[in-house]
Structure 1
Amino acid sequence: MTLRSPHLDIREAWLAQGCEEVLSPEQPIFDAHHHLWDRPGNRYRAAELMKDMSDGHDVRASLYVQCRTGYRGNGPDEMRPLGEIETILDWGHDTPNHPIGIVGFADLQLGDAVGPVLDALIEAGVGRLKGIRNTTAYHADPAVRSNPNPAPDGLLRCAAFRDGARAVASRNLSMDIWAYHTQLHEVHALAHALPDLTVILDHCGGPLGVGPYLRGDPEHFQQWRSALARLAELPNTRIKIGGFGLSVMGYDYADDPLPPHSSRMATDWAPWVETCLDLFGTRRVMFESNFPVDKGQFGYRALWNAFKRLSEPLTDDERHDVFWRSAARAYGVEEQLFWNDTGRTQS
C-alpha cells in the first residue's frame, strides 16, 4: 500500500517572500545530497534543480540519492532500479556535474546474490555510480515517518543485508544510510562488522523531534549525541549535515507567514551542527541540501547561507572540507572541479 508522502508541499510564492543577500558567493560547494523526480503534481527534474542551484551560490557539483525515480516497468524485480540510473543520466545529459555522482538502490536483502545487480548498476552508471542506499529508517510510532513507504523493522540487523553490504564494499562503493537516532546502534554494528565499507550517515544521523521525541529535549539530545559519538569512533564513517526540513526533525517553519531567514536557521541548528563537527571533524563532514524534500520549509539560498553562518568559526581549510572536499573524497569525485579561478583552493 502506498501512503501519502510525509514531505511538505513546495510553495514557490511563499518561498519568494524570503529576501537576503548571498553570503560568501566565492565559496565552492558540492551539494552532497539531493533528489530528482517527476510525480503527479510534484515535478523536480534537472531544470528545477538548476534554477535553485543558480540562485547565487557557487554550486560546482551535486550528488543524486535514490528515491525510486524512473524504475523499469518490467523485467526481474531486482533489476528494475536500473531504470533510476538510466532516467537520471537522461535528465542530466546537459548538466553533467548535476549530478556528478549517483547513489543508487539495490536490494541488499538479496545478500551475496546482489552482486550481479550491483555490477549492472555500475555498468549503467558509466562511472557515476558512487554508492548504494536502501530504505532503512524505521520507528514503531506512526508519528515518526519520513518515507511514503516506511521500512520494516530489522533490515540493518539482517544477516542477508550485511552480506549485501559486504558486496557493496567489495566493489569500492560507499553506503548511504538514513536511520533515526534510535537505530544508530544498529548502524554501528554494521559499520563495525564491515571496516572496508564507507558508511555515510544522512541527515545528521536522524535526531527525532516528533511523536514521543521533543526537539531540543536534553535527554533526547543526549541519546542522539551518545549514539553518534560511538559511530564517530569508527574511521569508516562519515556524516552529512542537513535534512532539517524533514518533518521528523520537528521544525515547523512552513507554518509561519514568511519563510525563515538564514540567521534564524543557523541559530536553531547550531547544537546539532556543532556536535557533528566536534565528533567527526571537518574531514568526515559534508553539507547537503536534501532538496526538494526540504524545500517545503526553506529556500536554497537561505539554506546555504545558514551553513555559511554556521561555518564562520572554521578556518578556510576546514570550510573547504565541509563545503566540498569531504564529499568529493568520500564519493571519488575529481577535486580539480572545485579549484578557484585564481588557483587551487587550500588542501
Structure 2
Amino acid sequence: MQAVKRYTSETEADDYVVDPDVPITDPHHHIWQDDGLIPYSVDDFLADGTSGHRVERSVFVECDQGYRTDGPEDLRPVGETELARGYARDSRVGPGPDIVGILPVLNARLETDHLRVIEAHEQAGAGLVRGFRARVGYDPARQYVPKGHEQWPGQLQIPNFLEAVRILGRRNLALDLIFYHPQLPEVAEFARQVPDTTIVLNHLAFPIGIGGYAGREAEVEADLRRGIDLCAALPNVRMKLGGFGMALFGYPWPDNGRPANSDEIVDLVGSRVAFMIDAFGPDRCMFESNFPVDALSFGYRTFWNAAKKMVAPYSAEERDLMLRLTAERTYGLGLDDDPRPIPPSRDGRTPTP
C-alpha cells in the first residue's frame, strides 16, 4: 500500500499561532501504523500537538488498526483498544497532549452479545474507553458509493444494535456516528429512540460534495440544514466540527498541491460551521482535528488557527466550550487534576515523570 502524503508542522501554510495560551482538547484523531494509508505515530501526533497550540488532552478514535488475528470475530477489534492503551501510555512520556480517551468500533451489523464486546473493550482500555464509534454510512440515492466499499441500509434500526446503544447510555459511554448527510432524518429518528445515550455526529454530518453531488452545492446545503435542525432539536445529540480536509466534502484543498491556510478554511467552511453552532449551541459543539486524515489538506497548527478564528465572535466561555469543555464533558475526560492511571504499553515502556 502506497502511503499518502500529509502536511506536517514543517510544510503547513500558517507560520503563526492564534491565541497560543488557549487550552484545547482534541476529541478526534487517529494513530496509523507504518503500513497504514496515512502513517501517523504517537510521536507524529505529539509533534503536531506541540507545534504552537496548547493542546492538552485528546481522544483516539478507531481506525482498523491492530485487530487480533484469531479468536471470536466480535472480539478481534479489542486488539486495537489494547494498542490504543499503549498509545495513551506513550503519549505521557514527554511534552504534548495526553491521550486520555479511546473510542473503539461498535459494529451495528454484527449479531453478537454487545454487552460482552463492550465489557471486553472496557477491560482492555483500563478506564480509557469513553465511548464507541459506529460506521453506518450509506447514500440512499446511491449518488456516492466509495470505491471498494459495500453500503448497508437500515443499520440504525437493527434491534440488537439499538439495545447496544442503550447499554452505552447506562454505562455513561457516548456513541460517535459516521454517516452521510442524506441520512440525517434517519439519524434523528435513531437518536430519538435512545434518549439516554449521547450521540455524537462526526465531521459536520459528512455533507457529500463529490460524485453525483458535485455541482449541487445549494441542494446539499439545504438538505444538510434541514437534517441538522431535526438532530439539533434532540438534547442527546452533539456535533463535531471538523473533517472538512477530506476529499468527500468537495473542497479544492486535497488537489491543490499545497496546504490550505486558515483564512481559506474559514472562507469556505465558516458559514457552515456557524450554522452548526447556532443550531446546537456551543455547549453541544466541539472542534476535532481528524488528523492525520485532514492533514491531506492542511496542517495541525493551521486547523486550530481556523477553529479559533471561527469562534472569535463568541464569548470567552463559549469559545472554551467549543475548544475544550464540550469534548471533556461529552467523554468524561478526567476533569480533575489527576487523570486515571494508565497501565504500561504493549512493549512495556515506562513513562518518565
Q: After TM superposition, is the score higher than 0.5?
A: yes
Deviation by residue 1:150-187 (Cα, 9 ceiling, x = unmatched): 54222113222212222222222110001111011111
Which residue matches 1:317?
A: 317
8 A contact 2:188–2:230 mirrored in 1: yes
8 A contact 1:245–1:295 mirrored in 2: yes
Number of aligned residue pairs: 333
> How has the CA–CA distance of structure 1 residues 148 and 310 changed in structure 2, closer, same or farther, with 3 Å as cutoff?
farther
> How has the CA–CA distance of structure 1 residues 17 and 330 changed in structure 2, closer, same or farther, with 3 Å as cutoff?
closer
Distance 1:146 1:313 in 2: 37
> How has the CA–CA distance of structure 1 residues 249 and 120 changed in structure 2, closer, same or farther, with 3 Å as cutoff?
same
Distance 2:213 2:20 in 1: 37
Please say if 1:81 is aligned against 2:77: yes
8 A contact 1:26–1:58 mirrored in 2: yes
The letter for the 2-side match of 1:26 is D
SS of residue paired to 2:89: coil
1:215 Cα deviation after fit = 6.4
8 A contact 1:179–1:205 mirrored in 2: yes
> How has the CA–CA distance of structure 1 residues 10 and 121 changed in structure 2, closer, same or farther, with 3 Å as cutoff?
same
SS of residue paired to 1:100: strand
Matches of residues 128-139 of structure 1 in structure 2 within 5 Å? Answer: 128-139=128-139
> How has the CA–CA distance of structure 1 residues 146 and 321 changed in structure 2, closer, same or farther, with 3 Å as cutoff?
farther
The letter for the 2-side match of 1:328 is E
Deviates more, 1:272-281 or 1:43-52: 43-52
SS of residue paired to 2:132: strand
8 A contact 2:27–2:287 mirrored in 1: yes
Which residue matches 1:91?
A: 87
Which residue matches 2:341?
A: none
Q: Among 48, 53, 70, which residue is 1:52 paired with?
A: 48
Unaligned runs of 5+ in 1: 339-347
RMSD between superposed Cα atoms in Å = 2.4
Which residue matches 1:126?
A: 126
Please say if 1:213 is aligned against 2:213: yes
Deviation by residue 1:243-280 (Cα, 9 ceiling, x = unmatched): 00111111121322431110111111112100110000
The letter for the 1-side match of 2:333 is V
SS of residue paired to 2:211: coil
Distance 1:43 1:223 in 2: 35
> How has the CA–CA distance of structure 1 residues 82 and 225 changed in structure 2, closer, same or farther, with 3 Å as cutoff?
same
8 A contact 1:240–1:286 mirrored in 2: yes
Tell me the TM-score normalized by structure 2.
Answer: 0.88
Which residue matches 1:16?
A: 11
Deviation by residue 1:182-231 (Cα, 9 ceiling, x = unmatched): 01111111110110010000001111111222467222211100100110
Distance 2:48 2:143 in 1: 30
8 A contact 1:18–1:259 mirrored in 2: yes
Which residue matches 1:341?
A: none
Please say if 1:326 is aligned against 2:322: no
The letter for the 2-side match of 1:131 is G
Which residue matches 2:168?
A: 168
Which residue matches 1:63?
A: 59
Tell me the TM-score normalized by structure 1.
Answer: 0.89
Distance 1:109 1:255 in 2: 35
Which residue matches 2:29?
A: 34
Matches of residues 1-347 of structure 1 in structure 2 within 5 Å? Answer: 9-12=4-7, 16=11, 18-40=13-35, 42-96=38-92, 98-110=98-110, 113-139=113-139, 144=144, 149-214=149-214, 217-336=217-336
Distance 1:192 1:215 in 2: 33
Distance 1:148 1:53 in 2: 33
8 A contact 1:200–1:239 mirrored in 2: yes
Distance 2:7 2:168 in 1: 39
1:141 Cα deviation after fit = 6.8
The letter for the 1-side match of 2:82 is E
The letter for the 1-side match of 2:106 is A
SS of residue paired to 1:20: coil
Which residue matches 1:342?
A: none
Among the aligned pairs, what percent are the same residue?
Answer: 33
Deviates more, 1:111-120 or 1:268-277: 111-120
SS of residue paired to 1:10: coil
8 A contact 2:122–2:129 mirrored in 1: yes
1:136 Cα deviation after fit = 0.9
